[in-house]
Amino acid sequence: MAGILFIISAPSGSGKSTLVAQVRTLVEGLEFSISYTTRAPRGSETDGREYHFTSRESFEQMIAADEFMEWAEVFGNYYGTARRALEHARAAAKDLLLDIDVQGAKQVMRRMPEAVSIFILPPSPEVLEMRLRHRSEAEHMTSEEVIERRLQQARSEVEQVWEYKYALVNDVLDQATAELRAIVLCERGEGEGVQAMAASCRTDARPARLDAVLESFHVG
Select from 154, 147, 132, 158 the least CA-distant residue to 215. 158
The pLDDT of residue 101 is 85
Domain membership flag for residue 142? yes
**Domain count along the chain:** 1
Is position 87 within any domain?
Answer: no
Q: Which residues pair with 117 in a beta bridge?
A: 7
Task: Return all residues near 174 (Cβ < 8 A) that are at least 6 apart.
Answer: none
Using CA atoms, how far apart are residues 81 and 68, in angstroms rounded to an integer?
Answer: 5
Please give the angle made by the CA atoms of 151, 154 and 155, to the nearest 5 degrees.
95
pLDDT in tens, the chain (220 residues): 568 999 999 998 888 888 999 999 999 999 999 999 999 998 888 999 889 999 999 999 999 999 999 998 887 999 999 999 998 999 999 999 998 888 889 999 998 999 999 999 999 999 998 888 877 665 555 577 778 888 888 889 999 999 999 999 999 999 999 999 999 999 999 877 899 999 999 999 988 888 899 999 988 6
Q: What is the pLDDT of residue 163?
A: 95
Q: Give the three-class secondary structure for 177.
A: helix
Residue 209: inside a domain:
yes
Q: Is the dihedral of CA 162, 21, 107, 219 positive or negative?
A: positive
Does residue 62 lie within any of the structural domains? Answer: no
Answer whether residue 60 is part of any domain: no
Task: For residue 187, tell me if it sits in a domain.
Answer: yes
Residue 207 belongs to some domain of the structure: yes
Predicted local distance difference test score (pLDDT) of residue 142: 53
Cα diameter, the chain: 49
201 part of a folded domain: yes
Q: What is the CATH number of the domain that holds 205?
A: 3.40.50.300
Outline where the chain has alpha helix (H): 16-26, 56-64, 83-91, 102-111, 125-138, 144-158, 173-188, 195-199, 208-216
Q: Give residue 130's domain range.
A: 5-33+95-216
